[in-house]
Amino acid sequence: MTADPAGFLPVIRPMRPADLESVYAVESSAYDYPWTLNIFRDCLRMGYECWVQLATDRIVGHFVLAMGPGEAHVLNLAVHPEWHNRGLGRALLQRALERGERLGAESVFLEVRPSNTPAVHLYHSEGFRRVGRRRDYYPTETGREDAMVLRHDLREVAPAGRR
């Protein structure tokens, strides 16, 4: 996957079964411990909100959102490293928040590695606040890393530009 330095047409659309190999390629390039292809397949089959980010004609990012009574949970959000720093992660996150709100969520939750500074900064800039910790949640080369649990209250005034 080569990032086109010129302009591109970003599009976010629902994930399709035919997208799964490309989604898995993005996931594998973005994370040391990626979800498996079967996890994405199961998310589609179970009716989770699964969306992809395209840059012109190729998938460069995705998110998976689970809905529950009054809340949503961002289970996965990734952008291919060659496409970082172009606002695509923010666009995906904002779409996830919009989908959660449209489907009746009052709050959106997610977990993030504290060591993932760019993601932590993105989530905080979009109005997420730390509400907890999950001990030993993420695998690492030397053991486990805790997760920060973040919450976004959709009933509060949205950050500029989201609506």
- Would you list which residues are annotated within the binding site? 77-79, 116
Q: Find the catalytic residue in 71, 111, 137, 145.
A: 111
Q: Is 111 a catalytic residue?
A: yes
Q: Is 123 a catalytic residue?
A: yes
Q: Find the catalytic residue in 27, 49, 101, 123.
A: 123
Task: Work out the number of other CB atoms within 10 angstroms of the CB of residue 39.
Answer: 14
The pair phi, psi for residue 51, each rounded to 5°, is: -130, 150
- DSSP β-ladder status, 107-112 and 71-79: parallel
* Cα gap 96→93, rounded to integer Å: 5
User: Residues annotated as binding site for acetyl-CoA?
Assistant: 77-79, 116
What is the Rg, in whole angstroms, of the alpha carbon atoms belonging to the chain? 15
Dihedral sign of CA atoms 107, 112, 117, 119 in order: negative
Q: Under DSSP, is residue 33 helix (H, G, I), strand (E, B) or coil?
A: coil
Active site amino acids: 111, 123
